[in-house]
Amino acid sequence: MRSLRGALVAVVVVSGTAVAAYAGAGAHGGASAPELQWRACRGGDVECAQLTVPLDDTNPNDARTIDLALTRVPALDPDRRIGSLLVNPGGPGVPGAGFASEIAGELPAGIQDRFDIIGWDPRGTGRSAGIDCNDDLDGMYALDWDPDTSAERRALEQATRAFVDSCVRATGDRLRFVSSDRTARDMDRIRAALGDEKLTYLGFSYGTYLGAQYAAQFPQRVRALALDGAVDPALDAAAAQVEQAAGFEHSLDLFLEDCAQREDCSFHGGDDPAAEYDALRARVDDHPVATDDGRALNGTLFDIGVAQLLYDGEDSWSSLADALAAVQRGDASDLVYYSDLYTGRDDDGTYDDIQGSFLAIGCADGPPMGGVAGVRAIEEQAAAAAPRLGRSIVNNSLACAFWPVEAAPVAALHAPDAAPILVLGTRNDPATPVKWARGLADELGSAALVTVGGARHTAFASGNRCVDRVVARYLVELDVPRDGKRC
């Protein structure tokens, strides 16, 4: 998955003082840009390095530092090498160091030949001072994220507050220094350490927000930014949450409509798969389905498993149909498996650190949700726009109502003086609606928008030859497509 958490929309206002203090350091971010010490790792031709960066680059008196974990897959044709291509898989909260080796072989040959592919764990994730909150989240997911009663709501709020408290105890002051504006400045430090005069970047989902942040802070250092599955930073919390919920709901509707028209759909059952879906979801909510290993599929895990499968659009519709049909037969193993992929649960019952990092970055980035009362108001709007999935999607961000770091207010990002930027939007994307791509392209002021058919989340390097040609020509040759092109 390009984005294990979808896009908890992050919007920040960057302090003019902070940006000026760093941006004035020169073309390479200062004469003292460190040289990276690459070493073989992860097998094959993959190399690893660390880059030490300030914990708080807005305070010259704060000497604390953190190390960013980087990986590199060298260009296959070094004699024709253009430079480095920095890549990010999305999130927020998803480590990206391993992503370089994962995606390198999927990229068009021209990109593999001409660029070193560089991945990194953004600050607050993975091996870059990752946020480690609580490894046992079974209790959280056993609660009802689509609460029907005041008791269910109180239980969810109490457990969420306890999770936030565990993050504070484990991480403390570091929570204040993981916002995306700081990560964008880390990206410029990475660029400088790599020896590139300007940044070439490929970002998916939340990674588009990092690219937009970079362009807004360092417009003169942009060579080429390809932003796929774009986030619109100009939206307030209600618009972002409700529109995302509606996007997932629309994607689910497309699946159910397709299933109704095909007798080979394993969830076809009768003439109305939508009604079958609603009845099954209600039954699971009232009577969770036991699994062979003693767990239970409740309404929350049901929604999460469905959402996980919707990310891949049509490619996963048959798997979604099979999983739902299995639940009808009393077998919840498939849908629990897909929910575990989303939540980061291992077979031993422990969870990875992505949820903590996701919240630490996303809640700090904003936009503000207005506390518990604000979340409840957004939840009602989302339930009206997306009756099946809206409440669960909004309550995935409930922790932001209790987060100790103040969320930054809404602010569009502008980069009219940057080199042309490429923005991609999939027309039925469940996680980042295509209107967000249109919004980001307009706000940047230097972007060309390409829209893509389909219902998957993100489009590049997923088998669409039109998209792959457009992105490869842009990154390699700086050939900017016509604004409004359709693939």
Paired tokens of 84: 């480095």
From the candidates 116, 228, 303, 429, give the one annotated as an active-site residue: 429
Contact 90, 204 (CB under 8 A): yes
Burial classification of residue 380, based on how many CB atoms lie within 10 Å of its CB (0-12 exposed, 13-18 middle, 19 or more buried): middle
Contact 424, 227 (CB under 8 A): yes
Contact 2, 462 (CB under 8 A): no
Cα–Cα distance for residue pair 214/201, rounded to 1 Å = 10
Directed axis angle between helix 237-261 and helix 317-328, to 10°?
A: 80
Q: To 5 degrees, how large is the angle CA 70–CA 71–CA 75? A: 135
Residue 97 CA: distances (Å) to CA of 283, 309, 346, 369: 41, 24, 20, 31
Q: Rounded to a whole number, what is the largest CA-CA distance in the chain?
A: 69
Contact 3, 89 (CB under 8 A): yes
CB atoms within 10 A of CB 71: 25
Cα–Cα distance for residue pair 76/113, rounded to 1 Å = 4
Asked if 347 is an active-site residue, the reply is: no
CA atoms within 13 A on the CB side of 289: 23
Which residues, at least 6 apart from 76, have a Cβ–Cβ distance to it below 8 Å? 112, 113
Contact 410, 236 (CB under 8 A): yes
Alpha carbon 22 to chain centroid, angstroms: 26
- From 360, 353, 254, 268, select the one nearest 306 (Cα to Cα): 254
From the candidates 101, 180, 205, 251, give the one annotated as an active-site residue: 205
Contact 108, 69 (CB under 8 A): no
From the candidates 3, 457, 462, 468, give the one annotated as an active-site residue: 457
Contact 146, 113 (CB under 8 A): no
Contact 407, 363 (CB under 8 A): yes
Asked if 457 is an active-site residue, the reply is: yes
Cα–Cα distance for residue pair 14/182, rounded to 1 Å = 9
Which amino acids are annotated catalytic? 205, 429, 457
